[in-house]
Structure 1
Amino acid sequence: MTKKEAIRYAATVLFAHKGFQDTTMQDICKVTGTAEGTIFYHFKSKEGLLIAILEQAKTRILEEYDAAFTGRDFASGLEMMEEAVTFYFHLAGVMEHEFTLLQRQFPHQLAEDNSECRSHLAAIYNCLTDIFERVVRAGQDDGSMGAFPPRETAMILFAMVDGLLRLKTCNLYDAGALFDELIASCRRMLAKPRDGSC
């Protein structure tokens, strides 16, 4: 791991668990053993460091998705949906600090005034929603799902899955205990109506 990567990783953990405002550059220096000037050399500012974290998170999400789905065949869009939901929870586990950071308020507050931050946040959420949109389109192509608006349906799927993850992140509920019901709910929502109306 390079010094720049070590700084970015340490900042990700601190921002996620301590908060952006409550993490000082001195905290990051202490954890990484680097001088404050080194951090500013690589990232220019604390906001620049957060933006670099968001940029790296999107890159990693795409890499993880490609590794999990490239070259795989699914019996149906509904089967692909189950795999996408499973993948999302897996991703939240291997990128625990990044997902915790995304669920905090400060990146969204910064995005209100910082167009670069807003752009990176939008790219991350678009990337995650795209995963579910591919599922809906695949299911519509193979006839296993109804003719629902793909993007809007994908956003609802994403909100359901991410909402359950938030309950787990906040230690409010064991998301794993609801996994089977989540899959069943997604199947009920997406399945093609038996009367053939959609």
Structure 2
Amino acid sequence: MSKKHEILEVATFLFATKGFKETSMGEVAAMSDVASATIFYHFKTKEDLFLAVLSSVKDGILEEFSHYFGEKEFTDGAARLEASVAFYLYLAGTRQPWFLLLHRYYPYKLAEENEFCRTLLEEIYNCFVDIFEKALVEGQADGSVGSLSPRKTALVLLSTVDGIVRFKNCNLYDAGALYNELMSLIGRMVK
């Protein structure tokens, strides 16, 4: 693993668990086992490092979903939708720092003034919505999904699924305990 990649991994974890303000560049350097100068060689400011982390998270999400869908075949759009939701939940569990980071306040505050940050957040969430929408459109074409607005329904699905992940990340409720009810609800909603 390259030093830059290692720095991004450590920074992702720290920004996700401690927050932007509470994470210092010195702490990132110490946990990455590099000199502070190495971090500043790759990232001029802490904000630059944060944006690189967010970009890395976006790339990781796209890669994970691309890999997942590259290996799967689905009987119909409804099955693709169920698998998409299940994989979202799986990814939120196996890549928890990514989702913890996305559930923090700072990225959205920064996005108010930083267009690149706003673009990254839009690309991340559009990725999820596009995946759900594609399954809904496919389901409408094959008859496994009823007549509804695919984009709006995909947004509602993402809000619901992401809300469950937030419960899990805040240690309020076990997302796994809601899995069967969630899938049943989605099935009824899209019929």
With structure 1 as the length reference, what TM-score do the two structures score?
0.93
Match of 2:49 in 1: 49
Match of 2:65 in 1: 65
Match of 2:131 in 1: 131
Greater shift in the superposed pair: 73-82 or 46-55: 73-82
Identity of aligned residues (%): 48
> Highest CA radius of gyration, 1 or 2?
1
Aligned AA (2:169): T
Match of 1:111 in 2: 111
Match of 1:146 in 2: 146
Does residue 1:172 correspond to 2:172, yes or no?
yes
Aligned AA (1:183): M
Match of 1:78 in 2: 78
Aligned AA (1:8): L
Q: CA deviation at 1:80?
A: 1.2
How many residues were matched structurally? Answer: 191
Q: Deviations over 1:17-75 (max 9, x none)?
A: 11100111111111112222211111111111111111111111111112111253212
Q: Deviations over 1:103-160 (max 9, x none)?
A: 1111111111111111111111111111111111111111111121111110111111
Residue segments in structure 1 that go unaligned for 5+ positions in a row? 192-198
With structure 2 as the length reference, what TM-score do the two structures score?
0.96
SS at match of 2:31: helix
Match of 1:160 in 2: 160
Alpha carbons of 1:11 and 1:71: their partners in 2 closer, same or farther (altered >3 Å)? closer
Q: CA deviation at 1:171?
A: 0.4
Aligned AA (2:170): C
SS at match of 1:113: coil
Does residue 1:7 correspond to 2:11, yes or no?
no
Aligned AA (1:13): F
Match of 1:194 in 2: none
Instruction: For 1:61 and 1:2, locate their aligned partners in 2 and report how far apart those are by CA, in whole Å.
Output: 20
Instruction: For 1:60 and 1:94, locate their aligned partners in 2 and report how far apart those are by CA, in whole Å.
Output: 12
Q: CA deviation at 1:94?
A: 2.4
Residue segments in structure 2 that go unaligned for 5+ positions in a row? none
Q: Deviations over 1:79-102 (max 9, x none)?
A: 111111110011112221111100
Q: Deviations over 1:152-179 (max 9, x none)?
A: 1101111111111100000000110110
Match of 1:24 in 2: 24
Instruction: For 2:33 and 2:59, locate their aligned partners in 1 and report how far apart those are by CA, in whole Å.
Output: 26
Match of 1:195 in 2: none
SS at match of 2:155: helix
